[in-house]
Amino acid sequence: MKALMNQYLGQRDWMANVPMKLLAGPLLILMILSMMILPLPPFALDLLFTFNIALAIMVLLVSMFTQKPLDFAAFPAVLLFTTLLRLSLNVASTRIILMEGHQGGDSAGKVIEAFGEFLVGGNFAVGLVVFLILVIINFMVITKGAGRIAEVGARFMLDAMPGKQMAIDADLNAGLIGEDEARQRRADVSQEADFYGSMDGASKFVRGDAMAGLVIMVVNVIGGLLIGMLQHDMGFGDAARTYTLMTIGDGLVAQIPALVISTAAGVTVSRVTTDQDVGQQMISQLFVNPQVMILAAAVMGLLGLVPGMPNLVFLIFTALLGGLAWWLIRQKERQLVEQEIASEAPPAPEAPEASWEDVQLVDTLGLEVGHRLIPLVDARQQGELLGRIKSVRKKFAQEVGFLPPVVHIRDNLELGANAYLLTLKGAEIGRAEAFPGQWLAIDPGQVTGELKGVMTQDPAFGLPAVWVDSSQREHAQVYGYTVVDASTVVATHLNHLLHRHAAEMLGRAEVQKLLDKLKEEQQGLVEDVVPKAISLTVLQRLLQNLLEEEVSIRDMRTILDALAEHAPQQQDPHELTALVRIALGRGITQQWFAGREELKVIGLDSQLEQILTQAMNGNGALEPGLAETLMTQTEQALERHEASGEPPVLVVQHNLRAMLARFLRRRLRHLVVMSQAEIPDDRSLRVTTLVGGR
């Protein structure tokens, strides 16, 4: 007994801790199912039918005011519950009609009586026709169209998922979005596909509801006639009138909310995702062109002049359309006047004397754009490129180890309309074109179809690409293209050039800020190295050497530890760079071989290595013939190595690394030259491709 009491108390405590909102769904389902079993009084039916109508109106309004399908992601479940509620009410009303229908029209409630008497004037023939028309509209027009749209939408959404995922990964790799935003966008893509798939199936509920309404009507009429004549001794006419009117009222009170719910489903799946709801889209696109209003007014006026037509009605609409056209024309004229006033230049002031304020220093980083690209960088027009550039600078600082200069943006009328120019210390480092409103479909090498558009190359990596319109975006994603907008193209190009020219952007001011930041935690280490062991100039040159070979300088503590050990005996920046690289070897190896147990690299043939060592021990220069042979053989080896999917890393003896890196990277900028001393002892090294080998 005590154990039973403890179990009861435990269950009671558990129920007390459960939030009521978690129980709302199960309780609603149980209540709906109980209506199919338990008899309901007429007043309860009135309340539930009224609630059903109010719920249908609420669902329609919510679907009208949502801006994206995912804003009403619960709609498929709502569609199921509302259909089940209507069917339960039909079962409950059928029970009370057949049991109490002989007592009069209000025996099944005032709502059913009102729909059967008032809406169709007590004429069951008219009511039957109206009911059938509502069922046909719901079943053949709205539900069938919405179901087809949901089916096609689900198919295209599933086909476009790989392309959308690739676009998200491209934005993440380019530093345009963070990990949290990428995770959220992946979840949105998955939820959108689930939503359209659920809507494809949920639309069948409404179709089945319409069929069930027809069957229930036939059962009620036949059953009512039999019960009225056989059990209650009613005449055929009285039984037909009484039970048919009540059945039609029951059918109308269920089919009208069903029609509203079907309309909501059609609105949800047929909308185009924008920043406006459906009402705003229709108003902003239907009533925007005064020429359309003028032509419509002219047609209505001509019809109003035809003899025998309701002239007054047509002329009223002619006046309304003409007035709307006049108002739209006045609005456009007012906008043009405001633009002209805003564009009028103020009178030129008297030219002042020249001063030092007229001296314009060269911007470290600059972006010049043609006039069609100005909306991308205009804060007043919510230009997306400004936010992308901020994200690129932030990601660069996190990966490379110092904050790049601010990008100064200005328009340049000498450039092409869609051209942009990237400058570093006043000199051009990159130039390309971007087309606002269009999308760049980049071919990663495995596409399954061709696109119509402007053929070009991805400005960052040189991959073949096509500028396409928005209408071809989803097709490009289905074909396997990586699709990005114009702002992303410019931001990715900027990110690529920042990494390529990182050494040139690192000045004395940036080095001093790095030391100041490290001094907050390692003050003694910083003071022992700079300026006691080496000067700030030597440290700057050393860090630039690392950046030229794409080595991150985030680990400033390790760099200064190595300098504290070797700088007292060595002051040459290049020799110190080689020693610092050994200290950073684990990080360099991780950068190129992350997640790989075995390091598969390019190596030098033993004979070639001996020749290069002898050249180094001699005058330190390579003969022209040997230099050309070395470059050609390295290019061939690198091509074979990259074809196998391995990182472009060449590992050589420590004394050869600096010379080969300077020589080979003149032409092969993506080649990484590492020394054997930089490889950690706990990593397995395997030479899979030889330079100079047969």
pLDDT digits (tens, 9 = 90+) for 575-633: 899 999 999 999 999 988 988 888 999 999 888 888 888 887 766 677 888 888 888 98
Q: What is the mean pLDDT of residues 665-686?
A: 88
Q: How confident is the model at residue 474 (pLDDT cuts 50, 70, 90)?
A: confident
Q: How confident is the model at residue 2 (pLDDT cuts 50, 70, 90)?
A: very low
- Provide the mean pLDDT of the chain: 79
Q: What is the mean pLDDT of residues 120-127?
A: 64
The count of other CB atoms within 10 Å of the CB of residue 169 is 13
Q: Are 491 and 388 in contact (CB under 8 A)?
A: yes
Asked if residue 46 has pLDDT above 90, the reply is: no
**Lookup result for tokens 């080689």:** 578
For residues 366 and 361, give the distance between their C-alpha atoms in angstroms, rounded to a whole number.
Answer: 12
The count of other CB atoms within 10 Å of the CB of residue 136 is 11
Tokens of 536: 């700030």
Sheet containing strand 482-485, edge to edge, reads 454-457, 464-468, 439-442, 482-485
Amino acid identity for residue 195 in this structure: F
Q: Residues 537, 542, 547, 548: what is their CA dihedral angle, to the nearest 10 degrees?
A: 100
Asked if residue 14 has pLDDT above 60, the reply is: no
Per-residue buried b or exposed e for 568-589, using 16+ beta carbons within 10 Å of the residue's own CB: eeeeebeebbbbbbebbbebbb
Asked if residue 558 has pLDDT above 60, the reply is: yes
Q: Are 465 and 458 in contact (CB under 8 A)?
A: yes
Per-residue pLDDT tens digits for 147-189: 666 666 666 666 667 777 777 777 777 667 777 887 887 887 7
In degrees, to the nearest 5, what angle opens at C-alpha 69 toward C-alphas 66 and 70? 100
Beta-carbon contacts of residue 398 (< 8 Å; ≥ 6 apart):
none
Assigned CATH topology for domain 361-501: Glutaredoxin (3.40.30)
Please report, for the chain, the start and end positions of each structural domain, with discontinuous segments joined by +. Answer: 36-276, 287-335, 361-501, 506-583, 588-694
Per-residue buried b or exposed e for 231-270, using 16+ beta carbons within 10 Å of the residue's own CB: eeebeeeebbbbbbbbbbbbbbbbbbbbbbbbbbbbbbbe
Beta-carbon contacts of residue 247 (< 8 Å; ≥ 6 apart):
97, 217, 220, 221, 224
Q: How confident is the model at residue 3 (pLDDT cuts 50, 70, 90)?
A: very low
For residues 181 and 71, give the distance between their C-alpha atoms in angstroms, rounded to a whole number.
Answer: 18
Which CATH code fits 588-694? 3.40.50.12790
Q: What is the mean pLDDT of residues 428-455?
A: 90
Alpha-carbon distances of 611 from 607, 620, 634, 662, rounded to whole Å: 6, 12, 15, 18
Asked if residue 10 has pLDDT above 50, the reply is: no
What distance lies between CA 635 and its chain's CA centroid?
40
β 672-675/649-652 pair status: parallel
Assigned CATH topology for domain 506-583: Helicase, Ruva Protein; domain 3 (1.10.8)
Higher pLDDT pick, 113 / 435: 435
Q: Are 612 and 606 in contact (CB under 8 A)?
A: no
Per-residue pLDDT tens digits for 495-531: 999 999 999 999 999 999 999 998 888 888 888 888 8
Per-residue pLDDT tens digits for 353-403: 777 776 777 888 999 999 888 888 887 777 788 888 999 999 999 999 999
| Eight-class DSSP state of 521 | T
Q: Are 28 and 243 in contact (CB under 8 A)?
A: no
Residues of the chain above pLDDT 70, percent = 79
Q: What is the mean pLDDT of residues 200-205?
A: 67
Q: What is the mean pLDDT of residues 195-217?
A: 70
Q: What is the mean pLDDT of residues 525-546?
A: 88
pLDDT at 393: 92
The three-class DSSP label of residue 440 is strand
